[in-house]
Chain A
């Protein structure tokens, strides 16, 4: 004797998938805080994003 497992019950009761948070990547918040600091912090005001593959 095998028991049947009803499929789809959860999906029928669930709300539609809501995937639009309307916000940018959370990490942006941390960058706002960190790039604000003007003291001696090496965020390279002169150099573009550095690819450091050669250092690996």
Chain B
């Protein structure tokens, strides 16, 4: 990682916190090294040390704000050292504004270098694109195989071979709407892209049909599987419908899809905010939501946007970031941290729908407890 010591420390900490259990090799880039113009030399030296690891196949070089500002020309780095591919991933915060979009940049860089687009196409194979709960790709794969799909690859994944194989899959299915560079790489390989995602009743049904059509699967088989899945989702929704006004205000770039599921289940979602920028990939969900009562969708949001919405559309429940949830709770509104609570359970197809809606229904029942907490602390403040 080419960056200064402060960013290196912070990112290493966060990476360990999220369980990667891997440390990061980095050149020392302090004031004296930057003044001496040693960014390239230091990074090259780090690459050489990395390449000495036995069996090394891949050395990603993550270039952050300091190295990007100082200048790290790609042509000054080796493309390959021994058997290892050296892939430069440029993710300065001043240019890549959110961490979902940095996932896209990293994956696109890896695919551009490693994707094998010259091999014969595996026509009945689908690449699923998105960092999702581990049970989700298994559920999706299980259903797709019933339709005649021979294999699925999930990206980003654990195996370098998956990156190579991605170059000759039959179609790409982005499960999240912020993979614009990665999608462009697949389009450059003439691989068709499935629109939408298997979310909720209507979304899942349309997605399964679209996959069947793009991979030229048996239409009757596809229809049977899609109808059966729709029936399961409808039965599930009937068993646990939602009501009330909910805010969806995370920073994962998946907020619109979650809002869509909640609206389909019967909730009112007047306000959604996300860290990602507006993009054509988000547009279908945005139009769907606006047609069903969503008043405001804020891209590249700030805390101030979210707080202003609390006054404008007082909600019954907030799915939000930690600081925003704290503000909602102070007002006696039940609130949950979007990332940890929702990303830690299945979401896609009827099985994901059941897990997500079950959790939200249960949490919304806690409204009276939050009100009691608020009055308790107001009483404490008055006594003090």
Name, among B41, B56, B93, the residue most crowded by chain A CB atoms within 10 Å (CB to CB): B93
Measured in the bound complex, the distance between the Cα atoms of B195 and A8 in whole Å is 48
Residues of A contacting B106 with CB < 8 Å?
Answer: 29-30, 33-34
Shortest distance from the beta carbon of A53 to any chain B beta carbon, whole Å:
4
Question: A44 touching B102 by the CB < 8 A rule?
Answer: no
Instruction: Decide if A11 is an interface residue (CB 8 Å cutoff).
Output: no
Instruction: Decide if A51 is an interface residue (CB 8 Å cutoff).
Output: yes
Instruction: Decide if B227 is an interface residue (CB 8 Å cutoff).
Output: no
Number of interface residues of B (CB under 8 A): 74
Measured in the bound complex, the distance between the Cα atoms of B88 and A30 in whole Å is 11
A40 contact from B7, B53, B303, Cβ within 8 A: B53
Instruction: Decide if B375 is an interface residue (CB 8 Å cutoff).
Output: no
Name, among A18, A30, A42, A53, the residue most crowded by chain B CB atoms within 10 Å (CB to CB): A30
Question: A41 touching B304 by the CB < 8 A rule?
Answer: no
Residues of B contacting A41 with CB < 8 Å?
Answer: 56-60, 160
CB within 8 Å of A: which B51-67 residues: 51, 53, 55-60, 62, 64
Stretch at the interface among B151-159, B209-217, B284-292: B151-159
Question: A52 touching B27 by the CB < 8 A rule?
Answer: yes
Instruction: Decide if B24 is an interface residue (CB 8 Å cutoff).
Output: yes
Instruction: Decide if B77 is an interface residue (CB 8 Å cutoff).
Output: no
Would A30 and B105 be within 8 Å (CB), given that A18-B304, A36-B20, A37-B58 are in contact? yes
Shortest distance from the beta carbon of A24 to any chain B beta carbon, whole Å:
6
Chain A, interface size category, equals 35 or more
Residues of A contacting B27 with CB < 8 Å?
Answer: 52, 55-56
Instruction: Decide if A21 is an interface residue (CB 8 Å cutoff).
Output: yes
Question: A42 touching B59 by the CB < 8 A rule?
Answer: yes
Measured in the bound complex, the distance between the Cα atoms of B64 and A3 in whole Å is 45
Residues of A contacting B8 with CB < 8 Å?
Answer: 49
Q: Chain B interface (Cβ within 8 Å of chain A)?
A: 3, 7-12, 14-15, 18, 20-28, 33, 38, 41-42, 45-46, 49-51, 53, 55-60, 62, 64, 84, 89, 91, 93, 96-107, 110, 131, 156-161, 251, 275, 300-306, 321-324
